[in-house]
Amino acid sequence: MLALFGPTAAGKSALAHAAALALGGEVVVADPFQRYRGLEIAADSPRPHERAEVPHHLVGDLDLAEASTAADFAARAHAAVDDVLARGRVPVVAGGTGLYLRAALGDLGFPPPPPPAVREWAAALSGDPPAALAALRGLDPAAAERVDARNPRRLARALEVARTGAGAPRERLWSPDWRRPTLLVGVTRPRPVLHALIIRRVRRELEEGLVAELRAALGRPDLAREPAQVIGMREVAAMDRGEMAPGDLEEALVVRTRRLARMQETWLRKLPVAAVIDLGEAPAADALPQVLRLLGDEPYYPPRP
């Protein structure tokens, strides 16, 4: 398999698309939000013409009312990868988030989900981040130091794990114990270039109707906790409550997206990548020859399961 990972807006999706075309492959998307129908703009999901050119897996497979967990994603991603290999094609895994990419590539040994009562307790408490963080410190001080306290979804998950011990072993996150032969390549950009690309993406999403899309999702009484964490959801909700001026929305989205990119760069430094390609200011697809050289002179076809 080929796997690509890097900060948001760097161009890994475009490079994955180009690689899949060149290798006769199919893309397995390791992104929790691209799974949701109704978040296509917010999640920057592949466009219809891209999906017509290259099959994409785990895109739009969930309704906004459905929960999404890394364990469920791992099971579906493994099935998708195995199916692609069984048909003699090349899986190209593109993430997304570090955890989902890692879940797609290896077996993290996810335990059963926590009891519903624990999930409800954690979800309710995560609505008050200071109280949630205080509770987490009481249960697992080390986890409280690691968690992104500004992210209610991560707070809730950390509380679930601390309460039940039901978390993937952390030592497995960084080890290269892939399920299938895999070349993992990192994709990055110089910080000023990445920031400019993030601004460009946010402006494009706003022009394409991001606010209307998120308002439609917020209007769903059955909206699940997981899709509600996508960047833009809480900002649009705050704007509609009069807590944020409409003119401040773009900057708020840019700030959160930059924060996400920094987190992804942290993952990139820890993951066992074979190489990191700095795209500079060039189009992402220009790096395809480098990727193909890393794979070898001949197309790389892993053994079938």
The residue ranges of every structural domain in the chain are 2-110+179-195+264-295, 112-166
The pTM assigned to this predicted structure is: 0.81
Q: Is pLDDT of 170 > 60?
A: no
Task: Kindly report the average pLDDT of the chain as a whole number.
Answer: 90
pLDDT-based confidence at 304, cuts 50/70/90? Answer: very low
Residues 276, 134: Cα–Cα separation, whole Å? 38
Evaluate whether 267 touches 176 at the Cβ level (below 8 Å). no
Q: Is pLDDT of 297 > 50?
A: no
Residues 57, 77: Cα–Cα separation, whole Å? 8
- Percentage of the chain exceeding pLDDT 70: 92
Average pLDDT over residues 3-14: 96
- Percentage of the chain exceeding pLDDT 90: 69
What's the half-sphere exposure (Cβ side, CA atoms, 13 Å) at 110? 16
51-55, 164-168, 235-239: lowest mean pLDDT where?
164-168
Q: Is pLDDT of 299 > 60?
A: no
Average pLDDT over residues 178-189: 93
Residues 244/246/247/252 CA torsion (nearest 10 deg): 50
Q: What is the pLDDT of residue 194?
A: 98
Average pLDDT over residues 243-271: 95
pLDDT-based confidence at 305, cuts 50/70/90? Answer: very low
Residue 94, φ and ψ in degrees, nearest 5:
-125, 125
Q: What is the pLDDT of residue 173?
A: 63
Residues 197, 202: Cα–Cα separation, whole Å? 9
In our burial notation (b when 16+ CB lie closer than 10 A, e otherwise), range 140-157 reads: beebbeebebebbbebbb
Evaluate whether 181 touches 303 at the Cβ level (below 8 Å). yes
Helix (H, G, I), strand (E, B) or coil at 188: strand
In our burial notation (b when 16+ CB lie closer than 10 A, e otherwise), range 191-206 reads: eebbbebbbebbeebe
CATH for 2-110+179-195+264-295 is: 3.40.50.300
Say which DSSP state 287 is in: G
